[in-house]
Structure 1
Amino acid sequence: MKRKLAAVLAADMAGYSRLMETDEEGTLARLRSHRIELIDPVIAKNQGNIIKTTGDGMLVEFQSVCDAVRCASEIQFRMRRRNSDVAPDRRIQFRIGINLGDIIFDDDDIYGDGVNIAARLEQLAEVGGICVSQAVRDQVAERLDVTFEDLGERTLKNIARPVRVWQVVANEETRPAGGTAERQSVVKPAIAVLPFANMSGDAEQEYFVDGLTEDIITELSRRHELFVISRNSTFVYKGQAANLRDVAEKLGAQYLVEGSVRKSGDRLRVTVQLIDTANDTHIWAEKYDRTLDDVFAIQDEVTGAIVATLPGRVEAAQQDLVVRKTPSSLAAYECVLAAKVRHHRSAHEENLEAQRLIERAITLDPDYAHAHAWRGCILGQAWVHGWLEDPDASYDVAVGELEKARALDDNDADVHRILAAMAVIADDLTRARYHQERALALNPNYDLVVVQQGELLTWLGRPQEGIEWIRKAMRLNPHHPERFWSHLGKAQFAARLYKDAIESFMHVTSMDAVQHAFVAANYSWLGDKMAAAAHLDRAIRLNPDFTIETFLGTMHYAEEGDLQHLRDGLAKAQEAAAA
């Protein structure tokens, strides 16, 4: 046996028995997910040593008491973020106790009053809270950005002397201990959805109309690049005729969404418009005519279409404002917006400017999760195109940025969408599936997430399903980027739908070498040697370093048959070109 002074963290899951009784498999799966993705990595990052685990708890030893408090603070902060979209009765939450004391180490286990006090402190903590002893508080009070509340002296079970207990003060804005005390807030565009008007004269439709409005508010709130005014604030204006500029000023929103629902016979018409109150302009409007076969299905369809389209329209309007500003005046959100514009142009110089803008956004707000996520995406684009002097190091930086974004906000669908894309680049399709499913769960109406589901299914050898998802993304966002047609064409090629694939690629205004290569393979399988040779020649003209094997090396098919299918199509085109 040996003794040493150490910090001990005791953690226990609240309501474990109740959750296990309700859903044993689901609870264990979610607990395992939290351990793998959050708890164990945070402990390792803070130099903690997991001594033992039970079904619902663990005991961890730290050489530094500051590391122990940082670790506990980050776990509880990120668990609050993770639980924000989870029903209260299904949330996994922890109590944590931390003590600094003399510990006995024996046979890979620890004993003594120092351990017992940590366990008793954990029992005193609130659900999602942290309690520490006087010794811990004295050590970290002046060294970490954390606030304590004195709970007084407590008599703990099997502990001879009273122990003074302190509680870490937590609220919705509490950040992990050790972080900056203040941060520059990100000024996101604020949008308010006013209650839709029931124009049917049918009181029974009121439930549908209110439900549609509430669903739109809920789904828009999933988009972390927007600030969405709450339902309680907007429903104050239900049934009122009010000046929109006054409403926007009172709600603090630049953009307003208003609409109406009209029932006529067996048909329902929903109209919606997006208004920029800064200059009283209508920047988007749409109407949806549907039969009343299933009112709830209509509600889901219309909600999905609206929330997939609105953020893009808001972003486009914001981009117009950004263009008129000098880069030095851009704030964090606007820097991210400008960086996205550069990124989507897919050119080397534009990518360099996107990197500069996104780095400025992070400098302005180091805790802006969306900025870290997009830095990872922008670096990933440079990695794919070979625009980096040190590809391996830059890839690691990109992944590190995404993990940073995930640590700051694990409920941002964009973070998991980009992590899935990076996993595909690394040919880790298992990890890609996890992050893609998480992104879909967080925001099932986000067109970029939906189209990526189609891409991933194509790589996994399920192109028919991939086609359905890509077409769904196109329906969700009628203003979708041109590249959606390219994704559809690749899926149709894998499904052996060659004529459909060629037609999809023809929607792309200016095809790149990759797209010309796919069109060449399609024409090869249709037996049109002249067209196949012409498109392969065009691919080589656009990329003089093009070779079939180098090109195939950029593919991520899980099935060797799918890769061979593309190889054979390109080989036929090459033979035709040489003839």
Structure 2
Amino acid sequence: MKRRLTTVLAADVVGYSALMDQDRQGTLAALKSFRDDTLTALLESHNGILIKSMGDGWIAEFQSTSDASDFAIALQSSDKPEGLRLRIGIHTGEVIAEGEDIFGDGINVAARLEALAKPDQILISDTAHHSLDRGDAGLFGGGGQAELKNITRRVGVWCWPKGSTANLATPADTRPGIAVLPFDNMSGDPEQEFFADGITEDIITELSRFRWLMVVARNSSFIFKGKTTDIRQVGLTLGVRYVLEGSVRRAGQRVRITGQLIDAENGSHLWADRFDGVLDDIFELQDKVTQEVVTAIEPSLRHAETNRSRAKPTENLEAYELYLQAQSHFHLLTDDANREAIRLTTLALDRDPDYAAAAGLLAWLHIQRLVQGLDPIGEGPRAAISAAERVLMSDRADGIAMAYAAHSISMLARDLPRARAAFKQALAENPNAASVHMLASINLCMLNRSDEALEHATHAIELSPKDPMRHAAHIARASALFQLRRYDEAAAAARDALAVRSGFVMSHLMLIAALGQMSDAAAAQAAISDLQALRPDITASSDQTSLPIFTVPTCSESWREGWKKAGLPE
């Protein structure tokens, strides 16, 4: 791959989808005629090279910025078929060449300017404008600064016709974007097309529940239906960082669905899987595949975003990137990591005081200190409750943020009915989020609704079996099973939690109590030794044994009896 300085022009047809809906054949014929008779001839006369053609849009490269500017003006001034209007963006910058294709900020800025342009307008960047001679530069007006999506610096924007204005007020959406391309029907049966489209539409709908993601609407992603397209071009065209694509193949009554998640910026694969089913109930199968795909890729997306945020300077990150960095520290469960996560989350809230997800995470971070017996930071539990209240009052809170807040209301304010109402809302908002089910399970344990708690905890593990926080779901299972007096299963669940996070005090306490109730003296003594090696100060009277999960009225004596039988020091 080679780098070079060049001028990139991006152009597209305004309202292409509407034109296709009104007259598909006429629009295609008009576009072909315009491309062959006008665009190609003008490119040749202005020394331009057509890099990409996307049906309703084109990317061209010019060695001279003046040639690009003259071409754009000539193209906008040309006779066009009725109803055909263009918008154009131009940028001079560095690109990466790979074969006959080009990538990088040079092409990204041009595409962002094109998307910002009004019909019949040309927008050029400040670097392109500075490259023009005085006469050509005088044809453009403006020069106002704009924030372009996924471009770290603000860009000066100049407009043609001079006197026209660009819409520079639209703030950049800092959320990572994902497009779900129409799943390919590989069956050779046109009647199966609706099934493939249905899966695609359902996945788009379910992903839209995650408000930290920007999900491209169906009408936009379906413009690529039936086309063989470079994923990086899809990302550029739709302005997204990730692309999900897949296929459906039917043989008799059996169906195989495959899917893969791709980083559109570099083409790397982040996740891939396949799902097999039987067409006994096509809609049930569609729902099952949708749920499995969504719950599989959501952790992959978060992991990719966390890794991305680590690679960038902290002071240049937006609020969501600070939040993702905080999450990566939160998962470590150490005093230092927790302190750093609180610092980063506080910075995120400084950037955006209404960031509900960050406020929810901040509340849970303070609970983490309480549960692990760490010294409070600042106002401690009071700060957690305050952060939780901000979430519950917010109209920007998604299901996960709401669950974080409800967990705080459960554990710290002990307002269990209010927390339960918030959990119901969180589950309705995002039924495929493992963390929501896990935290809802803990709330149900505290309400002594053990069977329901066990169901949610088990479902959380099924939804995200490799989740870095799955120890909490095993803890919820252990608690529910202990309340049901299924002590051997409770001990197994506590061991599952310790296998994920050996340093989590609550898991040790649950294992010791369950073994004590089973009268397994040798195993109980071994478990106590493990806890004392970790925290020699822990006794049956420590603050950790008075946490809400251990003080449910109908079960609190059983916990204490278990610790006593096991031989945990008083």
Output the TM-score relative to the length of structure 1: 0.64
Distance in 2 between the 1:352 and 1:287 partners? 40
Whether the 8 Å CA contact 1:335–1:360 is kept in 2: the answer is: yes
After superposition, residues 322-341 of structure 1 pair within 5 angstroms as 322-341=309-328
- State the partner residue of 1:524: 516
After superposition, residues 498-577 of structure 1 pair within 5 angstroms as 498-507=487-496, 508-509=499-500, 510-550=502-542, 551-556=544-549, 559-574=552-567
Task: Describe the SS at the equivalent of 2:548.
Answer: coil
- State the partner residue of 2:444: 457
1:453–1:220: structure 2 CA closer, same or farther, 3 Å change rule? same
Deviation of the 1:253 alpha carbon: 0.8
Distance in 2 between the 1:310 and 1:406 partners? 27
Higher relative contact order (CA 8 A, sep 6+): 1
- State the partner residue of 1:197: 184
1:475–1:553: structure 2 CA closer, same or farther, 3 Å change rule? same
Question: What count of residue pairs does the alignment treat as equivalent?
Answer: 395
Distance in 1 between the 2:554 and 2:386 partners? 34
Deviation of the 1:183 alpha carbon: 10
Distance in 2 between the 1:527 and 1:273 partners? 50
The code of the aligned residue for 1:412 comes to: D
Task: Describe the SS at the equivalent of 2:250.
Answer: strand
- State the partner residue of 2:295: 308
Matched, 1:282 2:269: yes
Distance in 1 between the 2:358 and 2:439 partners? 20
Task: Describe the SS at the equivalent of 1:258.
Answer: strand
Whether the 8 Å CA contact 2:177–2:242 is kept in 1: the answer is: yes
- State the partner residue of 1:229: 216
The code of the aligned residue for 1:530 comes to: A
Deviation of the 1:445 alpha carbon: 0.8
- State the partner residue of 2:480: 491
> Match for 2:365 among 360, 378, 389?
378
The code of the aligned residue for 1:519 comes to: L
1:325–1:190: structure 2 CA closer, same or farther, 3 Å change rule? same
Distance in 1 between the 2:337 and 2:503 partners? 18
Distance in 2 between the 1:375 and 1:561 partners? 31
The code of the aligned residue for 1:560 comes to: P
Task: Describe the SS at the equivalent of 2:189.
Answer: coil
Task: Describe the SS at the equivalent of 2:212.
Answer: coil
Distance in 2 between the 1:485 and 1:384 partners? 16
- State the partner residue of 2:67: none
Deviation of the 1:369 alpha carbon: 2.8
Deviation of the 1:251 alpha carbon: 0.3
Whether the 8 Å CA contact 2:357–2:397 is kept in 1: the answer is: no
Whether the 8 Å CA contact 1:193–1:213 is kept in 2: the answer is: yes
Distance in 2 between the 1:572 and 1:535 partners? 13
- State the partner residue of 1:353: 340
- State the partner residue of 1:397: 383
1:543–1:196: structure 2 CA closer, same or farther, 3 Å change rule? same
Task: Describe the SS at the equivalent of 1:283.
Answer: strand
Distance in 2 between the 1:325 and 1:338 partners? 10
RMSD over aligned CA atoms reads 2.4
1:457–1:353: structure 2 CA closer, same or farther, 3 Å change rule? same
Deviation of the 1:469 alpha carbon: 1.7
Deviation of the 1:185 alpha carbon: 5.2
Which string of whole-angstrom CA distances, capped at 9 and with x for unpartnered residues, describes residues 240-293 of structure 1?
A: 222211111100011000111122222221111100121211110111112223
Which string of whole-angstrom CA distances, capped at 9 and with x for unpartnered residues, describes residues 22-53 of structure 1?
A: xxxxxxxxxxxxxxxxxxxxxxxxxxxxxxxx
Distance in 2 between the 1:257 and 1:570 partners? 50
Distance in 2 between the 1:574 and 1:526 partners? 13
> Match for 2:237 among 241, 245, 250?
250
Distance in 1 between the 2:205 and 2:512 partners? 45
Distance in 2 between the 1:250 and 1:184 partners? 19
For structure 2, the residue ranges without an aligned partner over 5 or more in a row are: 1-168
Task: Describe the SS at the equivalent of 1:306.
Answer: helix
Whether the 8 Å CA contact 1:305–1:475 is kept in 2: the answer is: no
Distance in 2 between the 1:400 and 1:537 partners? 38
Which string of whole-angstrom CA distances, capped at 9 and with x for unpartnered residues, describes residues 155-193 of structure 1?
A: xxxxxxxxxxxxxxxxxxxxxxxxxxx997551111111
Distance in 2 between the 1:442 and 1:206 partners? 29
Output the TM-score relative to the length of structure 2: 0.65
Distance in 2 between the 1:183 and 1:365 partners? 17
Identity of aligned residues (%): 35
Deviation of the 1:217 alpha carbon: 0.7
Distance in 1 between the 2:172 and 2:540 partners? 49
Distance in 1 between the 2:284 and 2:548 partners? 38
Distance in 1 between the 2:171 and 2:349 partners? 10
Distance in 1 between the 2:304 and 2:174 partners? 15
Deviation of the 1:472 alpha carbon: 1.6
Task: Describe the SS at the equivalent of 2:270.
Answer: strand
- Stretch moving more, 365-374 or 294-303: 365-374
